[in-house]
Amino acid sequence: MNRIYLDNAATTPLDKRVVAEMVHVMENYYGNPSSIHAQGREVRTLLEKARKTVAGLLNAVPAEIFFTSGGTEADNMAIRCGIAAFGIKHAITSKIEHHAVEHTMDQLLKDGVIDQLSYVNIDAKGNIDYAHLEELLKDNPRSFVSLMHANNELGTLTDVERVGEICEKYNAIFHSDTVQTMGHYKHDVRKLKAHFIVCAGHKLHGPKGVGFIYINHTIKINPLIYGGAQERNMRGGTENIYGIVGLAKALELAYAEMEEHQNYVQDLKTYMKDKLTAEVPGISFNGETEPANSLYTVLSVCFPEMDMSDMLLFNLDINGISASGGSACSSGSNIGSHVLTAIGADPNRPSVRFSFSKNNTKEEINYVVEKVKQIVEQNIAV
C-alpha cells in the first residue's frame, strides 16, 4: 500500500522541476557569491536572478527581498528588529499565531523590550475582530502588529489588506506571517500595506532550510544575524545558493500554476468535507471552511469523543495515512494545541488537520474517509 500524505501544511514534497534546477546548480556552480573571481561572480548572478524572480512575483523591488533560513528566522527578524528599530513598547498579536510569533512576543515582554502585549479578540472560528484591533491601536502609542494571513491549524484567513489599512491609519508597523499562503495566493506588496511578510520554501514544494523576508523600502532595520556583508549587510552568513535557487523556482512555478492548483485542491477539500459529513456521525470542523474565508489546503476535523482518542494519529499512521494533530511544530508534545484552546474547542474531542496538495487524489480521499469511519466506529465512546 502506498502511503497517503495529507500533512502538506507541515511540509510539501519537492517538485521534480525544483529538484532538477537545484541539482544543476549543485553540479555546476560552487563559488562563494561574495568572491570577486569568476566562480564567485557566476554564483552571485544566480543569487540576484533568484532575488529578482521573487521580487517580481510579489510586485516588490529586489532590494526589499532578503533570503533567510526559513519562516521562523524571518518572523524573528521582522518582530525583533522591527520593534527595536522604532523603539516600540506596545505589540499586538493574536492567541492563534504560530509559535515563531507567539514565543518571540512572549520573550520580548519577559525581557522588558516591550512593556505591553495586547491580544486582538478572535471568534470561535479564528476570525479576528477588526473593530477591536482598531480600539487597541487608537488607545495606545505607536504599536507593532503581527497577524498571520492564514492560520496553520485552522485554515481561517485574515483580511490582511484590511489589517494593513487599519495599521496605516494609526501609523503602526505591520508584520504578517504569510508562510502558509505564500505560493498559494498572489501577494502584491504594493497593495498590501505590510512592512514585513515572510516565506518558507518547503511549504510550496521547494526546499527546506531556506526562506525570505520582504521588508518595505520605506523602513530601515538592523540585522538579526550579524557577520559578513551578505544580503546587503542585513543577514550575515554565506548564502544557501542551492536552496535560494530552488525557492525561486518553486515560487515561480506556484504563481504560474496557481489558479489550476487552487481549483483542484479546493475541490479535494470540499469533497473530503462533504464525504466526512455524510459518512462519519459526530464529525465537525474547526475554523472557517467556506472557500472565501478558508485556506484551501487545510481542513481541520473535530472528531466525536472517543476511547483512546490520543491514539487517533497513530491509528491513521498504521493505516498508511500521514496527518497532523494541529501544528506540526507541536508534534510529540503533550501540551495540546494553543490554537484549539484559544478558540474554545472541546478538549475531550480530538482534532486532526488534513492538508492537501496538487499531488493528492480523490481516490486517496475515499480511502482516508473509509479508514476514519472504521476508526471512529471502533473507538466511539459510549
Q: Give me the residues paired with residue 342 across strands.
A: none
R_g (Cα) of the chain, nearest Å: 21
> To the nearest 10°, the Cα dihedral for 68, 72, 77, 78?
110
Nearest to 218 by CA among 197, 199, 236, 196: 196
Which residues are identified as catalytic?
329
Name the grid cell of 114: 516591550
Name the grid cell of 306: 472517543
- Rounded to the nearest 10 degrees, what angle do helices 16-28 and 241-256 cross at? 150
- Name the 3-class secondary structure at 67: strand
Q: What are the Cα distances from residue 185, in Å, to 149, 239, 260, 289?
A: 10, 27, 12, 17
Q: Helix, strand, coil shares of the chain as percentages rounded to 5?
A: 45, 15, 40
301, 223 contact by CB (below 8 A): no
